[in-house]
Structure 1
Amino acid sequence: MTRISHSLLDPLIGPRIKALYPHLRLPRSLPPEAIVLAGHLSAIAGAVGFAFSTRFWWGGVLAAIGVAGNHAADCLDGTHARQTGQCRNGGELLDHFTDPLSFAYWMIGIAVACGRLDIGLAAVCCLFAFAVLTNIKAKMTGEFQLAAFGPTEFKTGLVLLGIVFSSMVGFSVTPDLRVQIATWVYAAMTLSGCCFLVWQLVSSIREVNQSAAPADTSEWVCR
């Protein structure tokens, strides 16, 4: 399968993170799956940070560090696998399985901070719809594509959001106003994501219809 990234920030951030790999001196025996696990734990820490980000200054800081740590691990796991000859299909499956879960944790964390689980439910549904659309489209076209505004851009926005939340607490913005601002930002982000999802769905349908790959006419086989 061909991997194609249209990301705006990947060419700027990815090479800089991967350049750190030789300086980390990770043991060659370390399985890449351990890096995936570390990134997943970092994502959970980020979600906890987001949940407290409208109440304590350290919440936004922990959220930003957790998201950044997750992205660093996401960049380095494949690099480590290739450098040590440990590329495995199972490792790639685990990596792609945990990616949408990480985003879901963060969406739930922000929902808790805002006290708006209804928005959180919409955000998580939109998020997993994106994941399903991306993977089904990749299966049908043979190309795994990342949009111009993809995971890297989303994570960068979440890091900045964590810093903003922490700054609001640090500058003594009233608790009610902090929650109100966070809610409006979260609602706008979710609405934008849903609109982008609809646009991506329509574009994807057109793309798979125009691709050279023949339509799948096979029947299900019961075994």
Structure 2
Amino acid sequence: MTTTDPIAPNLAETMARLRGAQKGHARGAPAYSVYVNRRIGRLFAAVAYRLGLTPNRVTLVSAAHTFVGVALIATVPPSWWSGILIAVLLVAGYAWDSADGQVARLRGGGSVAGEWLDHFVDALKIASLHLAVLVGLYRFGDLGEFALLVPIGYSVVATVTFFGMILNDLLKGARGVASTHARAGGTFGRSMILLPTDFGVLCLAFLLWGVSPLFLVVYGALFAVNALFLGAASVKWFREMRRVG
């Protein structure tokens, strides 16, 4: 069913409204999320809005794309075509994840239940993706037991990083301090430096899934950078919490 909202009679005007309703990105937002994923998500959001989809339904569309990709990692032998399919599904799921919030802003604001659903799906995605890599490498790879430690470590790092970011905003909000996402800013250079920490880059890494040794090199490098980022960020976050407290 298409919407009959007279304020947005066509897709182009819906896109224009979305550009005007964007929230400021966090200072630590990496480049892919800001310059690629948000723009793809804007297009998806405009289409979803024209189709009359609610933000929660958009979140479920995002989950469907993501978890089909995750399932393929664990169940389908690596090949060039499975790698491309997995990457496309994960990239699309990530873009739809950006779209749900944009649809909510078009409709006048989101809900607490919608925000909970969005974060719940994100947490499930982050935890399950690396475990699927672990299963896939165990079932189909011949890289030795040491290689299996990488997705285990990556799962820990990714989960703790996500929890830390959510907890930061929760504790700040409870004390009347502006959340990270409320501060527009960030420079192009900073965004590019943080690019290896972007979930979108991890999605693109699965283009190499069909060449397991090369994939593991890229995947391991991303893990190392993300582990270093978490170590540095945790010190910064703790200092911020001391000031807030």
TM-score (norm 1): 0.74
Match of residue 5 from structure 1: 26
Distance 1:182 1:54 in 2: 14
Distance 1:20 1:132 in 2: 27
Match of residue 237 from structure 2: 204
Q: Please point out which of 94, 99, 124 is paired with 1:101.
A: 124
Match of residue 218 from structure 1: none
Within-5 A mapping of 1:49-60: 49-51=72-74, 55-60=78-83
Does 2:169 align with 1:145?
Answer: no
Contact between 1:100 and 1:131, CA under 8 Å: does it hold in 2?
yes
Deviation (angstroms), 1:80: 1.7
Match of residue 208 from structure 2: 164
Structure 1 stretches of 4+ with a deviation exceeding 6 A read 149-152
Structure 1 residues 87-111: Cα deviation after superposition (integer angstroms, max 9, x where no partner) = 2110011101111221223212322
Distance 1:68 1:187 in 2: 20
Contact between 1:9 and 1:153, CA under 8 Å: does it hold in 2?
no
Aligned length: 199
TM-score (norm 2): 0.68
| TM-aligned CA distance change 1:61 to 1:49, over 3 Å | farther
Structure 1 residues 129-171: Cα deviation after superposition (integer angstroms, max 9, x where no partner) = 1122112211233344379477996233123212233xxx4xx
Q: Please point out which of 107, 132, 136 is paired with 2:163.
A: 132
Q: Give the share of equivalent positions with the same residue, in percent.
A: 20
Does 2:106 align with 1:75?
Answer: no
Structure 2, unaligned stretches of length 5 or more?
1-22, 139-146, 182-189
> In angstroms, what is the RMSD of aligned CA positions?
2.9
Does 2:74 align with 1:27?
Answer: no
| TM-aligned CA distance change 1:152 to 1:182, over 3 Å | closer
Query: What amino acid does structure 1 have at the position aligned with 2:161?
Result: F
Structure 1, unaligned stretches of length 5 or more?
170-177, 216-223
2:78 counterpart SS class: coil
Contact between 2:157 and 2:226, CA under 8 Å: does it hold in 1?
yes
